[in-house]
Amino acid sequence: MASSNHAADKIAQAIIARKALPLMPTLATLNDGYGLQKSITAQINGQTVIGLKAGISSRAEQKHFGLEASLIASLYERGYLQNGCEIKVAPEQNLECEIGVCVNGQGQPKGIFPVVEVVRLSFSKPEDLSLANAVAVNLGADRFICGDMLPWDEAVADIEINMTKDGVNLMTASNDYALGAPINCAKWMINEARRRGLWQESEKDSLLLLGTCGQAQPAQAGTYCIDYGALGGIEFSISAMEPGE
């Protein structure tokens, strides 16, 4: 137990500092990864629970990795950012356009919103890159930029997303989730979180990030505008991280 806690502490420190992850412990299964994930999340969040994220959420990705469903991970409270923010990034960070759902403490949807996740998955050696290790480090969770919350609408299905940087189009995509509409994704996430011991009934709302829409984009300096159609949009700017920061 002491060794596991030490590993979680070292990994948590690297995540907070946006540094390369230390050498990972041997994790044989996804269950092992979820076990370490809980310890790392507790080191960073304490007792606070803000929400969950899904990864490998398209059918093509799942087929590539030999999975039958998405993976899930925890969000960090310190990573919440509002629309219009200006951020600095570390090397190897990516931007992922996603759809978010707000649920109450019993897992019932209350709202829907656009969100851009800023992720970083930087292992010290290539051999450490595995599904179990990715799960352990919360699928590269770092920060997430949330647009305005809209009232929940179960009828929302297909959303077209257009992403530009400094006025130049980077990507046009849609929510190509294996489970289809956001309502299906949200229900699955709550059930899977319960199964993995990542969900507890409470009085607080939680945020669910349903997975990447389209291709992840490298986080580079510039001004970004992402149009989510009926869900609104997100604007933010990035400056390169100063050396040694």
- Sort 195 into a burial class: Cβ within 10 Å, 0-12 / 13-18 / 19+: exposed
- Give the closest residue to 51 by CA, choosing from 109, 94, 120, 93: 109
Residue-averaged pLDDT of the chain: 93
Q: How confident is the model at residue 1 (pLDDT cuts 50, 70, 90)?
A: very low
Report the CATH number of the 2-240 domain.
3.90.850.10
pLDDT, tens digit, for every residue of 133-159? 999 999 999 999 999 999 999 989 889
Which amino acid is residue 156, in one-letter code? Answer: V
- Give the closest residue to 71 by CA, choosing from 216, 212, 189: 189
What are the E-state strand segments in 24-156?
A: 51-55, 71-74, 80-82, 86-89, 94-103, 109-119, 143-146, 150-151
Would you state the pLDDT for residue 53?
97
Would you state the pLDDT for residue 203?
84
pTM of the model: 0.94
pLDDT, tens digit, for every residue of 45-73? 998 889 999 999 999 999 999 999 999 99
H/E element holding 142? none
Domain range list for the chain: 2-240
Tokens of 106: 């019993």
Would you state the pLDDT for residue 4?
63
Instruction: Kindly tell me if the per-residue pLDDT of 171 is higher than 90.
Output: yes
Would you state the pLDDT for residue 204?
92
H/E element holding 59? helix 59-65
